[in-house]
Amino acid sequence: MDSPVVFCEFLRECPTDEYLIVTQPGVNAADLRQSEGCAMPHLCKAIDDSRVRGKYIVAEVIGNITDADFQDHIKSSCARKGRTANVVRAPLELLSGSRAQSLAKNGMAKSGNIVMCSSHKSVDENLARTLSTLSTRNSYTILFHATPQEPLYNSEFIEPLHTHMKRSDGNTLASKRANETQRDTRPLFEKYQFFTPGIFMGLIVALVLFSILGAGVRGLASLKVSYGAFDKEMGPAAQKKQQ
């Protein structure tokens, strides 16, 4: 079952009247855990309140889900129950030490705990006012949703080349193996893609023309005039006769 479906099942009963939807790009549970405690104290304090009846944690979300989807689903579910839900959305800024921005100049990853510590505290302080107002209500639900982070840049102009070469090698090997096992019985013009019917007809016509030309040259070369006939027509006796 996809994670959006699981969330819908969890919120369908409209468990509380107040809802706070907190979204932050590129954050997971490991980023919030530190050796000294919680990286966002105000948020952890609100979650650990004695009035909290339960927690629901999803380590990995599969599928596309946004805070607007949460809001629409909560309001529609509570409306079916005859209740009015107050939904507050609190989008947080991208952490300066998130994985999408935690690369040094040489391309190596920085130590994330040092960079993220100050960023988490500043974000938590901005969220503290909203949490303090929410904690005074009778019933509330906090949804902390981490949106997908932007992927790191990877050069894509080399990968298609390797893929194309691999595909070409695979096709070549497959054709070689096919030729070794069985005889190619395809027609001439399908077997040789550059030998088209037009080229074939042109070659036939060229051969016919060359054969006619050769026959004519051989016929001209075979014509012979005897010396006696030439002497009769062009000799001194013929000239005297004409005079």
DSSP secondary structure letter of residue 150: P
Q: Would the pTM count as exceeding 0.75?
A: no
Q: How confident is the model at residue 3 (pLDDT cuts 50, 70, 90)?
A: low
Give the number of other Cβ atoms within 10 Å of residue 85's Cβ: 19
The SS3 of residue 130 is helix
| Structure confidence at residue 242 (pLDDT) | 59
Q: Does residue 221 surpass a pLDDT of 50?
A: yes
Q: Give residue-wise pLDDT tens across range 47-59.
A: 777 777 777 777 6
C-alpha torsion sign, points 162, 163, 168, 170: positive
| Structure confidence at residue 211 (pLDDT) | 94
Q: Which residues are CB-contacts of 142 (< 8 A; sequence separation ≥ 6)?
A: 20, 22, 43, 46, 47, 131, 134
What percentage of the chain carries pLDDT values higher than 90? Answer: 5
Task: Write down the residue that tokens 């893929």 correspond to.
Answer: 163
* Tokens standing for residue 97: 């030490």
Mind spelling out the 3-state secondary structure of 153-169?
Answer: CCCCCCHHHHHHHHHHH
Q: Give residue-wise pLDDT tens across range 72-123.
A: 888 898 998 888 888 888 887 765 544 434 433 333 434 433 334 445 566 6
Q: Does residue 159 surpass a pLDDT of 80?
A: no
